Amino acid sequence: MRSGGFKRLNQFLMAAAIKKDQSQCRQMLLFNQQTPYNYFTSAPAAQTVSETHQLSHNLIKIMEQKLSAIETRHAYLMSIVNQPDVLSENYTNANKELKKLRDSIDLINQLRAIHKDIDGLKLMIAESQDDRDMQEMASQDLGQASKEERRLQYLLLKSLLPKDDADERDCILEVRAGTGGQEASLFAMEVFKMYEKYSLKKGWRFEVMDLAESDLKGYKEASAAISGAGVFGKLKFESGIHRVQRVPVTEKSGRIHTSAVSVVILPQADQVDVQLRNEDLKIDTYRSGGSGGQHANTTNSAVRITHLPSGLTVAIQDERSQHQNKYKALKLLCSKLYEMERIRAHTSRSKLRARQIGSGDRSERIRTYNFPQGRVSDHRVGITSHSVDGVLQAENLDIFIDALLLQQEMDAITSFSSSD
């Protein structure tokens, strides 16, 4: 996916969302399923869209009010740090806030400079009615300046949208086989490996935390720690029920079966984020029953930790060392507790949060992988990829991930425009 085409799509979708034209937004987001990549290229059609749509007048008015408030605040903070007799604490606090505003102020200054250029070019066009060459040159420059103005407005708008503090964190991935028996466990293994391939493709670190294999060497349950820049923010909408429709390897008559796998993405946390008291933890050790070789099965290396106040229980048996399993189990427990608190604090702000594990029932689906038809469909944004293998090999997974993040951005912009 080319970044230019995606940026242009972003700009148009934002404009449509702010104008409350939900059908137009939907039409662009739910692009032609026969050619699902059309709007994510640098095609001339996409370029025309970006050139003919811009942020609505009302949104720009609201944004200008907020930008003026930022400028006023920045000037006030600068007056504090420039005082010769300022208190050390006041200087430190003001300087800290100035650093947070630095990027926004840089963009605002660039936008103000572009506005001056645009005003000057408009005046030049008005005063050169008899000079056709001058008018043509000024008009071309005005077009370029207007494009730069829209780009800066878009960046500033994104900087003003509410942010999820957890987006920059690493994440914990959990995959569980649901409805479908052995076939569900085999698909759980494929989904787990899909995210492993995706992580490697992105340059992230993928560390397996625990595996529980089925009789056919599929995964009943599997978990991993994924580390990298903005991992949770990128993967958070992968949580939910992933449904598969295909002929299982155990099926003799060739009938298509439907199975389900649950995926959970948790922001990583540690004991600094979550207060864990020893008296709140019940720690049990037992012999590992899964992979790990003969040694794992003859020692009490597996660890199960129960958080008594919440009733949460985690178990890790992947490592041969009891100490390593305990470390991983505490890491997973902290992430679960952190996510519980995060959801409680942000429930009123998020519409697309899909954190529930669910029952694993096939009806609670967010995405369907239909092998006979060779397609993968995401039911939240209505997007279909006609390459099951491309998705499972993590080559086409960005189609869904980027669309879901774009939908989140659209919702945030709509909320922003109605907040004042």
Kindly indicate the confidence band of residue 297, based on its pLDDT and cuts at 50, 70 and 90: low
Asked whether the whole model's pTM tops 0.75, one would answer no
pLDDT in tens, 80-91: 999 999 999 999
pLDDT of residue 298: 57
Distance CA 403, CA 237 (A): 10
Tokens for 330, please give them.
């505490």
Say which residues have a Cβ less than 8 Å from residue 145's Cβ, sequence separation at least 6: 114, 117, 118, 121
219 phi/psi in degrees, rounded to 5: -115, 120
Average pLDDT, the chain: 80
Full 3-state SS string of the chain: CCHHHHHHHHHHHHHHHHCCCHHHHHHHHCCCCCCCCHHHCCCHHHHHHHHHCCCCHHHHHHHHHHHHHHHHHHHHHHHHHCCCCCCHHHHHHHHHHHHHHHHHHHHHHHHHHHHHHHHHHHHHHHHCCCCHHHHHHHHHHHHHHHHHHHHHHHHHHHHHCCCCHHHHCCEEEEEEECCCHHHHHHHHHHHHHHHHHHHHHHCCEEEEEEEEECCCCCEEEEEEEEECCCHHHHHHHHCEEEEEEECCCCCCCCCCEEEEEEEEEEECCCCCCCCCCHHHEEEEEECCCCCCHHHHHCCCCEEEEEECCCCEEEEECCCCCHHHHHHHHHHHHHHHHHHHHHHHHHCCCCCCCCCCCCCCCCCCCCEEEECCCCEEEECCCCEEECCHHHHHCCCCCHHHHHHHHHHHHHHHHHHHHCCC
pLDDT in tens, 40-49: 332 333 333 3
Q: Is 237 in contact with 405 (CB distance < 8 Å)?
A: yes
pLDDT in tens, 135-167: 999 999 999 999 999 999 888 888 887 777 788
Q: Which of 9-23, 47-61, 233-247, 268-282 has the highest mean pLDDT?
A: 233-247
Fold assignment, 165-372: Alpha-Beta Plaits (3.30.70)
Distance CA 265, CA 13 (A): 27
Tokens for 282, please give them.
């019940």
